[in-house]
Amino acid sequence: MRGLLAALLLSLLTLFASLDNAALTLATITAASAQTSTTIRDASGRTIGTVTTDSNGTKTFRDGSGRTTGTATIDASGMTTFRDASGRTTGTASRSRR
């Protein structure tokens, strides 16, 4: 589960960088397992976004200004659904079957 979330976060970092037309060379992600919020920083330490998790497990992604850029939810079968700020589905991903 953490591997999937890490991959999702990396994908979103890439998305943030491309949306801002910024060259993101390094991102420092600070989080503790008990926290429900993660701060995403660029190489210079500037906050470029946050990810918060609500009680249902929905991840909400915000840019550096605090505007919601999208959400991600995982259903009982392991399917992750990505939605933009307007709530439109922009993509899905499923766990690999072994």
At 85-97, the pLDDT tens digits run 999 999 999 977 6
Greatest alpha-carbon span in the chain: 41
How far is residue 64's CA from residue 46's CA, in Å, rounded to a whole number? 9
Nearest of 24, 1, 4, 10 to residue 61 by alpha carbon: 10
Q: How confident is the model at residue 26 (pLDDT cuts 50, 70, 90)?
A: very low
Query: At 30, is the pLDDT very low, low, confident or very high (cuts 50, 70, 90)?
Result: very low
DSSP H stretches of helix in 1-98: 2-19
State the average pLDDT for the chain.
77
Q: Which residue type occupies 44?
A: S
pLDDT-based confidence at 98, cuts 50/70/90?
low
Give the tokens for residue 72. Answer: 């991600």
Q: Is the pLDDT of residue 25 over 80?
A: no
What's the rounded Cα separation, in Å, for the pair 26 and 63? 17
pTM of the model: 0.61
